[in-house]
């Protein structure tokens, strides 16, 4: 009986030790699990915070980009406003739209004091053109119109009335006018206006 009792006591003792070890392991595991969970929470929060900062930076970058885009758009709109030279070019092109001797070219003579324009120059309609048809000059420049003797009698008459030559057919005849102010001067040969014999002086 004593042997059996001792055996039973030993089993209870071993069982108690096993239970104690199990509880101890559970506590240790719980602590580690808690640390791990805390670590996961901390990492998640850190990541979220980093993501928030990144998102904030990206949003700020988008705002900056949008601001620059707006500025560029504004600048683009301002660039769309025609300059005085572009406006003058458009007015001249419209005026000379039916001039057979005009190909869209405006001769730049802003560095010259005297410019010569032929009267009765060749064109698809015959000798009924001014050449060059359009000239860009500086104020103070003198323009000299010189007759070719072709196409009969011609004259040079400003649309504004600023200048007017005689009606002449003679080869080598000249008429000149000094331009003292910046403006667009449209002129025609009255007898051949219907044939598109027109010209323009752009003073600047």
Instruction: Confirm whether residue 177 is marked as ligand binding.
Output: no
CATH topology of domain 85-203: Immunoglobulin-like (2.60.40)
Instruction: Confirm whether residue 27 is marked as ligand binding.
Output: no
Extents of the domains making up the chain: 1-81, 85-203
Residues 6+ apart with CB under 8 A from 170: 147, 149
Query: Using CA of residue 111, residue 160, residue 168, residue 152, what is the dihedral sign?
Result: positive
pTM of the model: 0.59
- Contact call for residues 95 and 194 (beta carbons, < 8 A): no
- Contact call for residues 195 and 100 (beta carbons, < 8 A): yes
Q: What is the pLDDT along the chain (204 residues), one digit of tens a residue?
A: 444 454 555 666 555 555 555 544 454 444 444 444 444 433 344 444 444 444 444 444 444 334 333 333 333 333 333 344 455 668 999 999 999 989 999 999 999 999 999 999 999 999 999 999 999 999 999 999 999 999 999 999 999 999 999 999 999 999 999 999 999 999 999 999 999 999 999 999
Segment (H or E) for 21: helix 2-79
């Amino acid at each position: 009986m004593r042997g059996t009792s001792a055996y039973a006591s030993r089993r209870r003792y071993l069982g108690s030790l096993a239970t104690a070890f199990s509880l101890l392991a559970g506590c240790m595991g719980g602590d580690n699990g808690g640390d791990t969970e805390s670590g996961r929470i901390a990492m998640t929060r850190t990541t979220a915070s980093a993501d928030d900062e990144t998102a904030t930076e990206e949003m700020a970058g988008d705002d900056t980009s949008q601001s620059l885009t707006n500025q560029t758009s504004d600048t683009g709109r301002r660039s769309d406003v025609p300059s005085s030279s572009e406006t003058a070019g458009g007015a001249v092109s419209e005026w000379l739209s039916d001039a057979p001797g005009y190909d869209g070219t405006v001769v730049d003579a802003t560095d010259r004091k005297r410019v010569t324009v032929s009267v009765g120059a060749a064109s698809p309609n015959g000798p009924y053109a001014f050449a060059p048809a359009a000239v860009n000059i500086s104020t103070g420049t003198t323009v000299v119109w010189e007759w070719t003797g072709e196409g009969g009698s011609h004259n040079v008459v400003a649309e504004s009335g600023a200048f007017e030559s005689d009606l002449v057919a003679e080869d080598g005849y000249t008429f000149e006018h000094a331009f003292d102010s910046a403006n667009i001067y449209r002129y025609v040969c009255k007898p051949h206006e219907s044939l598109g014999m027109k010209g323009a002086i752009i003073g600047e």
